[in-house]
């Protein structure tokens, strides 16, 4: 039995991951913002086969509460085999252009909050000398575009932070996985028109669990996004700035 800790547990992608781990009879510790949804998920995971499910309710934008949250998790879980960070928001770029507070809020949830949690978690997991830290970044972090560069900058910063953390924790026996999904059909993207490039949360969740098992460093999900982002990164800036992307 493994112990899986999930931050942003009520996210559509995280829920799909949690269901896969529950089916295998693992222990789960959920961190969700909405008390009712988190409790409902905990009960559902128990029914699906989880050995044990504990949870905490937290607004993860409140950085000052992170040390207490991590202490609560450590009291419940003697060992953390997998820590998955899934919380995030997709801000409206036009609103961010007009309102610096919205920009700062998005940066806080998508970058500062994960960095704070990862700093605390890394120190705990370094001591245990085992386990995997898996974090949902995004393909949006691979290149800045006018339509979502606040979100993209936060995810890009997060991906770089994870590179450094991986480099630091490799010798300590802790794997760090950067997850870069493309378009996924979840509440976050409910207002978007869907097309051929879109994936379901369940499909992405399978890829996440497999990558954790294999102790991969970085994964694009679905895998074809690796090729798409390779091409997008090759476009010279002198041309890229003229495109309306």
Ligand X SMILES: NC(=O)c1ccc[n+]([C@@H]2O[C@H](COP(=O)([O-])OP(=O)(O)OC[C@H]3O[C@@H](n4cnc5c(N)ncnc54)[C@H](OP(=O)(O)O)[C@@H]3O)[C@@H](O)[C@H]2O)c1
Q: How far is the CB of 8 from ligand X (least distance, A)?
A: 4
Cβ proximity to ligand X, 26 vs 116, nearer residue: 116
How far is residue 72 CA from its own chain's centroid?
20
Task: Determine which residue in the list 65, 126, 163, 189 makes contact with ligand X, applying CB under 6 A.
Answer: 189
Looking at residues 86 to 115 of the shown chain, list those that interact with ligand X (rule: CB under 6 A): 86-89, 109
Retrieve residue 245's tokens.
């992307």
Is residue 59 a contact residue for ligand X (CB under 6 A)? yes
175 φ/ψ angles, rounded to the nearest 5 degrees: -85, 145
CA distances from 193 to 69, 197, 198, 228 (A): 37, 11, 10, 19
Task: Determine which residue in the list 1, 34, 104, 197 makes contact with ligand X, applying CB under 6 A.
Answer: 34
Is residue 33 a contact residue for ligand X (CB under 6 A)? yes
Which of the stretches 82-90, 95-103, 116-124, 227-235 binds ligand X when contact is defined by CB under 6 A? Answer: 82-90
Q: How far is the CB of 242 from ligand X (least distance, A)?
A: 26
Is residue 116 a contact residue for ligand X (CB under 6 A)? no
- Phi-psi region at 129: left, alpha or beta (left = phi > 0; alpha = psi -120 to 50): left
Cβ proximity to ligand X, 138 vs 159, nearer residue: 138
For residues 152 and 90, give the distance between their C-alpha atoms in angstroms, rounded to a whole number.
9
Retrieve residue 114's tokens.
């994960």
Residue 59, SS3? coil
Q: Which residue has the tokens 């086969």?
A: 49
What are the residues binding ligand X (CB under 6 A)?
A: 8, 10-13, 33-34, 59-61, 86-89, 109, 136, 138, 181, 183-184, 186-189
């Amino acid at each position: 039995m493994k112990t899986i800790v999930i931050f942003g547990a009520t996210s559509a992608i995280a829920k799909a991951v949690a269901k896969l781990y529950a089916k295998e009879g693992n222990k789960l510790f959920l961190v969700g913002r909405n008390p009712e949804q988190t409790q409902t998920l905990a009960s559902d995971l128990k029914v699906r086969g989880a050995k044990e499910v504990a949870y905490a309710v937290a607004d993860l934008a409140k950085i000052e509460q992170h040390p207490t949250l991590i202490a609560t998790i450590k009291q419940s879980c003697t060992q953390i085999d997998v820590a998955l960070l899934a919380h995030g928001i997709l801000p409206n770029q036009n609103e961010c252009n007009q309102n610096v507070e919205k920009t700062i809020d998005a940066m806080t949830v998508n970058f500062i909050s994960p960095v704070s949690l990862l700093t605390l978690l890394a120190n705990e997991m370094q001591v245990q000398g085992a386990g995997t830290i898996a974090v949902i970044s995004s393909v949006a972090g691979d290149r800045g575009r006018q339509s979502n560069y606040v979100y993209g900058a936060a995810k890009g910063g997060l991906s770089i932070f994870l590179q450094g953390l991986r480099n630091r924790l490799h010798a300590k026996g802790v794997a760090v996985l950067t997850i870069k999904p493309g378009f996924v059909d979840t509440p976050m993207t409910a207002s978007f028109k869907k097309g051929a490039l879109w994936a379901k949360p369940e499909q992405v969740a399978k890829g996440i669990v497999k990558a954790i098992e294999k102790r991969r460093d970085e994964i694009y999900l679905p895998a074809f996004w690796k090729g798409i982002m390779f091409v997008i990164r090759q476009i010279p800036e002198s041309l890229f700035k003229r495109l309306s992307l």
